[in-house]
């Protein structure tokens, strides 16, 4: 029994700790902030939102309720399962992918939401510039700034960036 507990503890540490090396730890986005982020993105029905590090899928659910296609990418398998369970009722409007968003193309995005540590924001900036060349893309970052990029709007800790 103690071995099983140890295995469970190590699995939880691995699942929640590994993200520190690729993004930010899981912290659920509160509904008021999620709603502000979606308002700032101002996406229309049929447009596509990417939530990089989608956690429990809250943003994906709120986007789907508005008719927005939502793609969530999450590295933590436990959170992928929670996000999938939370969003499965929205059918083809929501896709939850288990994986590293650094290796996922965001070229189809009309909007991107991210909670990503400052040390990775410049890398994300370059990724968007390299992959999103066909159409304008809006990015909302929860709390973390992109160095040397102008903020288009700021509300309740959400920062909007425009890519043309």
The DSSP call for residue 103 is: G
pLDDT at 13 over 60: no
Model pLDDT, residue 10: 53
Q: How confident is the model at residue 148 (pLDDT cuts 50, 70, 90)?
A: confident
User: Which of 56-60, 103-107, 130-134 has the lowest average pLDDT?
Assistant: 130-134
**Summary mean pLDDT of the chain:** 89
Round to whole Å and give the CA distance between 140 and 34.
10
| Residue 63: C-alpha distances to residues 88, 102, 107, 145 (Å) | 13, 22, 18, 23
CA atoms within 13 A on the CB side of 124: 32
pLDDT at 51 over 70: yes
Percent with pLDDT over 90 in the chain: 77
Model pLDDT, residue 19: 52
| DSSP run (H or E) holding 131 | helix 118-131
Query: Taking the model in full, what pTM does it have?
Result: 0.85
pLDDT at 121 over 70: yes
Q: How confident is the model at residue 28 (pLDDT cuts 50, 70, 90)?
A: confident
Mean pLDDT of 8-23: 52
Sign (positive/negative) of CA torsion 66, 71, 75, 76? positive
Strand partners, 52: 73, 114
């Amino acid at each position: 029994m103690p071995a099983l507990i140890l295995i469970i503890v190590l699995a939880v540490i691995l699942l929640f700790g590994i993200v520190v090396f690729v993004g930010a730890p899981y912290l659920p986005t509160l509904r008021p902030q999620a709603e502000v982020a979606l308002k700032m993105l101002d996406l229309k029905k049929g447009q596509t939102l990417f939530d990089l590090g989608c956690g429990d899928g809250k943003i994906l659910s709120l986007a789907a309720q508005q008719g927005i296609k939502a793609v969530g990418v999450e590295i933590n398998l436990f959170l992928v399962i929670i996000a999938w369970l939370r969003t499965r009722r929205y059918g083809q409007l929501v896709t939850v992918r288990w994986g590293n968003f650094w290796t996922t193309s965001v070229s189809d995005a009309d909007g991107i939401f991210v909670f990503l540590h400052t040390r990775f924001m410049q890398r994300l900036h370059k990724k968007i510039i390299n992959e999103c060349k066909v159409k304008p893309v809006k990015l909302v970052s929860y709390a973390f700034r992109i160095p040397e990029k102008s903020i288009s709007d700021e509300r309740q800790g959400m920062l909007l960036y425009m890519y043309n």
